[in-house]
Structure 1
Amino acid sequence: MTQAPATQPTIGTLGELKAAGHVLKPLRTEIRDNLLAKLRAGEDPWPGLHGLEDTVIPQLERALIAGHDIVLLGERGQGKTRLLRTMVGLLDEWTPVIEGSELGEHPLEPITVASQRRAAELGDALPVTWRHRSERYSEKLATPDTSVADLIGDVDPMKVAEGRSLGDPETIHFGLIPRSHRGIVAINELPDLAERIQVAMLNVMEERDIQIRGYVLRLPLDVLVLASANPEDYTNRGRIITPLKDRFGAEIRTHYPLELEAEMAVIRQESELVAQVPEYLLEILARFTRNLRESSAVDQRSGVSARFSIAGAETIAAAALHRATLQGEEQPVARVVDLQTAVDVLGGKIEFETGEEGREGEILTHLLRTATAETCRTRLRGLDFGLLVAAIETGQMITTGEQVAAIDFLTGLPALGESELYDDVCERLDAHNDGERASAIELALEGLYLARRIGKDSDGSEVVYG
């Protein structure tokens, strides 16, 4: 969410607002106008979203232009929540509200009894304050214990105790949706809402009134309702009831990135790395994730979240920093040997098909090796490793490992005479310092092993190519 800037409009009363020529726009009109203005100016209304440009985004833009409430359907980790939160950028930066109003009503259109009374009494002296667009977005994670009071509202016993009658609309404590008046309310994992709670949303979304404990309160709410759901939830935990689905104007299916580069862009953008992770290791993680999504051994109904590869990048960066700290390295750089540390801790993020019990580690290791081999072929194609293979075949061994320093690894490499193979590998992989060079050459060695040109032995702490 963007932070409210330090400056805001100085208009402080309804009279000043009228004099400034302010025009009230319905919420959907405001969003439509701002979206079209960004598109005309060539601006990207959806910063930070990768791989959805030609599929999901056009559908979403058409739904917003049409003024529809929207539900996003997709497996976990497809960026649904990020997409919802990005819509804040389509609101006006500042909007006027009646100062002190419970629902943030526009000064030109008060909708509650209390605000209408104040507007009638004060006229043009009605005090106005300004709300930043970041305050006009509300989000609720649907849980089975969510109540009607949370979303719609309930009678406030304290107000009744003050002497108001139960039928007085001012006794109502409003829930999240009415409080999002003139803004966006997003409900994550909508099928997790109990069906009776979903029923309570029907009038809010269609008739724009609210019903609380038998009282019908006519409020012309101006709110855009967004929701996300995992399609698998319809059978696992719950479902979106048919009348509620009918009230969403647009149902949009999201998906994982279709292109490798988009997958890598998500990792780069979302991961918080404590050490340098070379691009080719990010590519391996991206390919690894995509291989998992295509594997028949993995439950694809559950999906393989983008968080898997993000957590993988963060894990191998942590392994590099751990090694650098223990070995006294100044520049921690992740290496191929660190990839196994990610496999060791991330297996719990994957749902395997029934019948694969006991083979989880074997499946993950196989798919990681496949991803590594694909990356080696792509990145190192055309280089001649004959001299290195020949040196290893004569009995020379190369030792690496999670706690083997980069300089020790480099020192242990076979001498190749006047060959510039090591330099060629490092140039191809943009490696310059010791850590980067060790990482690059280690990738080449792993590629040779996966191509069955050299051998490899591991005892857990050390890896020996020979």
Structure 2
Amino acid sequence: MPVTPDLPRTVAALRASGHVQRPVKHEIRDNLLAALREGRDPWPGIVGFDDTVVPQLERALIAGHDLVLLGERGQGKTRLLRSLAGLLDEWTPVIEGSEIGEHPYEPIVPSSIRRAAELGDDLPVAWVHRDHRYTEKLATPDTSVADLIGDVDPVKVAEGRSLGDPETIHFGLVPRSHRGIVAINELPDLAERIQVALLNVMEERDIQVRGYTLRLPLDVLLVASANPEDYTNRGRIITPLKDRFGAEIRTHYPLELAPEVELVAQEADLVAEVPRHLLEVVARFTRHLRDSSSVDQGSGVSARFTVAAAETVAAAALRRAALTGEETPYARPVDLESVPAVLRGKIEFASGEESREDEVLEHLLRRATADTARFALRGVDLDELADAVSTSPVRTGERIPAKDVVAALPPVDALTEIAAKLGASGTEDPGPMASAAELTLEYLFLTRKLAKDESDDGDTVSYG
């Protein structure tokens, strides 16, 4: 990233510019409060947490607390942690060449202290963008103290320094995050003996490396994510470390349908257009899975499942368009049928449900489809359409082009209302109308107002 050319390049110029040094937690607090006063959203891309998680997080940051986010998989913990970087100043000065990014006003390692004494006002200054002040580490069982804190560097020893020289230390991830944010994902996966190494960092802000005790006034915000301890089998956060976190914030899946749909629309990479009513089916399907006693709720049903389901529906629509020769792929309810088969492996079922997985998924998908149609078509009299289809059956399926579905629909007034309710009005493309009609026919079948049969070639015929 280009640096603004008029930024000071020496410590003397930096002082002359009026720059004021702030600890990283004060910097975050000031920038967060400024955003709140100005009505700017400090959390772009964060969905469904406005009235629950976000206020707690903002209070923790304003208090200057290190914090841990607790929540099931796929609840946006990592995205929330990464968004913290947006609360840092866009550019911050560091001592040029410093190993740990010290502020020019406050060198803390021996080499930088020596340089500052020798160069005085000519100490060179470099500028670091906020994106480089956020460091993330996925906790794994093989993570070592050297990775997080540091170790003796054999190369420096080989160069002639003695083992007692603090300058032989190669700093780990936490010291290198000095004046920034260090995030540890899945903290319970970190071996307990390694968690112990973080105790001094969080409380006394010093580090210990193989007998060295360096009183480094580290300036870091330490944040972490974890699954709730009551159902994780992989490890735990040791009590002394847990005690040192100033805030423990619980995340959750979207509480309402609208944020769930918004999340899918934001995160999914859709290769074909998927109308909102099908995104709602997918979102309701996920929510039904989260409420089902047949699913292991300790494992959770990730928001990634909803996103993957929407992407699967879009892929099915694109494949169907290739088979039927349609120029514009547009998702229809027939494309939902691929979701249970493709994503079954992402769900952990409860004990005793081993032989009923397909039955559970298909039942909940039908229920989600019916709920979506009932909500979307409320107020529309569908009896006329049901009577007309009883005498003039409609064939649908993945090999039936949208124009053929639309052409087979009976000329009833209810279709105009259906088109308006499901966003199929005002377009010459038959895809939206075919999608709306299929959803309506499926709803009439699920409410037992129509029957349907599957032909040998996989097509579905709806009739009375």
Per the shorter chain, which TM-score range? over 0.9
Q: 1:228 to 1:421 in 2, by over 3 A?
A: same
Given that 2:229 and 2:236 are in contact with CA atoms closer than 8 Å, whether structure 1 keeps it comes out as no
Give 2:433's aligned amino acid.
Answer: R
Three-state SS of the structure 2 residue aligned to 1:252 is strand
Aligned with 1:464 (options 432, 445, 461): 461
CA contact (8 A) 1:8 1:130 kept: no
Other-structure match for 1:264: 261
Task: Give the aligned partner of residue 448 of structure 1.
Answer: 444
After TM superposition, list the pairs within 5 Å mapping 1:80-229 onto structure 2. 80-229=77-226
Q: Which amino acid aligns with 2:395?
A: T
Between the aligned partners of 2:139 and 2:181, the Cα distance in structure 1 is: 16
Match of 2:355, SS state, is coil
Counterpart check, 1:426 vs 2:408: no
Partner of residue 315 from structure 1, selected from 312, 316, 324: 312
C-alpha change, 1:183 and 1:9, in structure 2 (3 Å) is farther
Residue in structure 1 matching 2:61, options 64, 69, 89: 64
Closer/same/farther in 2, CA of residues 31 and 398 from structure 1, 3 Å limit: same
For structure 2, the 5+ residue unaligned runs are none
Preserved contact between residue 95 and residue 124 of structure 2 (Cα < 8 Å): yes
Q: Give the number of equivalent residue pairs.
A: 459
Alpha-carbon distance in 2 for matches of 1:353, 1:234: 14
Structure 1 counterpart SS, 2:198: helix
Structure 1 residue 5: Cα displacement: 5.6
Shift of 1:285: 0.8
2:40 to 21, 36, 43: 43
Equivalent residue in structure 1 for 2:432, among 425, 432, 436: 436
**Structure 2 CA distance, aligned partners of 1:446 and 1:279?**
17
Matches within 5 A, 1:317-332: 317-332=314-329
Quick one: which of 380, 386, 393 aligns to 2:383?
386
Preserved contact between residue 9 and residue 130 of structure 1 (Cα < 8 Å): no
Question: How much has 1:325 moved relative to structure 2?
Answer: 2.2
* Deviation per residue, 1:330-371 (Å, 9 max, x gap): 211000010111121111111110000011111111111111
In 1, are the aligned partners of 2:21 and 2:105 still within 8 Å (CA)? yes
Is 1:410 the counterpart of 2:403 in the alignment? no
Query: How far off is 1:247 after superposition?
Result: 0.6
**Following the alignment from structure 2 to structure 1, what is the Cα–Cα distance between the partners of residues 131 and 389?**
61
Give CA-to-partner distance per residue, 1:211-249, whole Å, 9 cap, x none.
111211111100000000011576411000000001100
The CA deviation string for residues 236-277 of structure 1, in whole angstroms up to 9 with x for no partner, is: 110000000011000001111111111111001111111100
Q: Select the residue among 284, 288, 292 that pairs with 1:287.
A: 284
TM-score normalised according to structure 2 size: 0.96
In the superposition, relative to structure 1, how do residues 390 and 72 fare at CA in structure 2: closer, same or farther (>3 Å)? same
Query: Is contact 1:263-1:286 (8 Å) kept?
Result: yes
Q: 1:8 and 1:131 mapped to 2: Cα distance?
A: 13
Code of the aligned partner of 1:406: A
Structure 1, unaligned runs of 5 or more: none
Q: Say whether the 8 Å CA contact 1:232–1:302 is kept in structure 2.
A: no
Q: Following the alignment from structure 1 to structure 2, what is the Cα–Cα distance between the partners of residues 251 and 57? A: 13
Structure 1 residue 7: Cα displacement: 3.4
Q: CA deviation at 1:10?
A: 2.5
Would the aligned equivalents of 1:232 and 1:301 in 2 still touch at CA under 8 Å? no
Q: CA shift at 1:8, angstroms?
A: 5.8
Q: CA deviation at 1:154?
A: 0.7
Query: Distance in 2 between the 1:404 and 1:176 partners?
Result: 57
- Counterpart Cα distance in 1 of 2:6 and 2:130: 13
> What letter matches 2:394 in structure 1?
I
Deviation, structure 1 residue 188: 0.4
- Aligned to 1:354, the other structure's residue is in SS state coil
Which of the residues 250, 253, 259 maps onto 1:253? 250
User: In 1, distance between residues paired with 2:78 and 2:378?
Assistant: 39
SS of alignment partner, residue 81 of structure 2: helix
Does the residue aligned with 1:186 lie in a helix, a strand or coil?
strand
State the superposition RMSD in angstroms: 1.4
Cα distance per residue 1:296-342 (max 9 Å; x no partner): 11111111111111111111111111111232212110000101111
Counterparts of 2:345 and 2:12, CA distance in 1: 61
Give the letter for the 1:270 counterpart. Answer: E
Partner-residue secondary structure (3-state), 1:216:
strand
Deviations 1:110-139 (A, max 9, x none): 111111111000011111010000000000
Residue correspondence of structure 1 range 340-419 to structure 2 within 5 A: 340-394=337-391, 396-413=392-409, 415-416=410-411, 419=412
The amino acid of 2:240's aligned partner reads P
- 2:254 and 2:5 mapped to 1: Cα distance? 39
Q: TM-score, normalised by structure 1?
A: 0.96
Equivalent pair of 1:234/1:240 in contact (CA under 8 Å): no
**1:236 counterpart SS class:** coil
Q: Which residue identity does 2:415 align to in structure 1?
A: Y
1:456 counterpart letter in structure 2: K
How much has 1:9 moved relative to structure 2? 4.8
Paired letter, 1:171: T
Is the alpha carbon distance of 1:9 and 1:202 closer, same or farther for their aligned partners in structure 2, counting shifts above 3 Å? farther
1-structure distance, mates of 2:7, 2:457: 66
Q: CA deviation at 1:6?
A: 5.7
Query: Which is further off, 377-386 or 445-454?
Result: 377-386
